[in-house]
Amino acid sequence: MARLLLADLSKLSARAPELRQLLLRWWQTHGRHSIPWKLLSDHRRPEPREQLDPYPIWVAEVMLQQTQLQVVLPYWLRWMEAFPKLAALAAAEEHDVLLLWQGLGYYARARRLLAGARQMQTQIEAAWPQDQASWLALPGIGRSTAGSILSSAFNQPFAILDGNVKRVLARLMACERPPARELKLFWALSEALLDPERPRDFNQALMDLGATVCTPRHPRCEQCPWQVHCAAYAAGDPAAYPVTDAPRELPFQVIGVGVVRNDAGQVLIDQRLNEGLLGGLWEFPGGKQEPGEPIEATITRELQEELAIEAQVGEELITLEHAYSHKRLRFVVHLCRWISGEPQPLASQQVRWVEPTELGDYPFPAANARIIAALLERLQAESSAAAA
């Protein structure tokens, strides 16, 4: 760390007792106190010596990676109904886990959570681990997630550094570099501020401050307990922090997709390999359009290369666009009629003919929900026309 940053850290450490007191006093009145996994079974907030069940906290913390609380809450409630204990999750089938996760995105989190549950189930006997190393050894658990689990469940003094906390600290210090470039400093800041007597409450208060007051856009500085200590507020432009690198343009691809039906009216789907963001999910077959290639030729080629089948590409069903964090995609979807060839999983885990009404029993990426809806609407229209 540069000398100036070390000086800032020293100043912050000196002010830490006052900042802790101000934040916790604000949180007592304005904090989010009804988060279900942060409460005891009788819906009370735990006292410092009381422990919480780490399993529901672990599930929630993994879901909260890259996802906001209001989105996570209904998923978490459904998850806890299906897998209320560690043993239930460890014994679950990946298919069921992914189906329950469907729509939440970043599906690798679900696969890692399942793998971590099986790993933890073989390790613990009577007690859950309360050391950071044991949690970091689990797939999908980083330093901040481990710190949040340990502080929330056991009131252990471990700092956190999620997106909300980075934003609050960047503004508090008016840091002139993106937090991603100063992680060592930001971890030091979070650790210096952490209340060693009330780490559970302090970490939650810090996250609540970022989520409800020190928001990405239009921060409510007049409601902030740290306003008089905030260097970004003193500079007159809190929303200018955190400093970010110039955004890079996302690559754009056109994907040809074939909804292939056989003579019995069944639809062909395949399961992605267990790798990448969407690993393990089911999808309609297809692939990237090559330069100058008609989309019908793309679909024909992909069906041959990935499934070893011949199909007649028919009319367009739907075109839709979907943005991921690393690329933008346009899906051009055509109805296809299977002609010949036994479908083979040449680029996937398995392939399956299913009834259109059974598609809801399989976990699909979010973009496929509109394809399924369009297909069912088309089939309903065909059925109505035939009956007329």
Instruction: Examine the residue annotation and report whether 305 is marked as an active-site residue of this protein.
Output: no
How would you classify residue 43: left for phi > 0, otherwise alpha for psi between -120 and 50, otherwise beta?
left
CA angle 21, 25, 30 (to 5 degrees): 145
Set 47, 50, 61, 81: catalytic member: 61
Contact between 351 and 343 (Cβ < 8 Å): yes
CA angle 118, 121, 126 (to 5 degrees): 170
- Residues 124-152 as b/e (b if ≥16 CB within 10 A, e otherwise) read eeeebbeebebbeebebbebbbbbbbbbb
How would you classify residue 112: left for phi > 0, otherwise alpha for psi between -120 and 50, otherwise beta?
alpha
- 344: tokens are 């083979």
Helices 69-82/94-101 angle, 10° precision? 150
CB proximity list for 309: less than 8 A, separation 6 or greater:
260, 268, 303, 338, 339, 340, 341, 342, 343
Task: Cite the active site residues.
Answer: 61
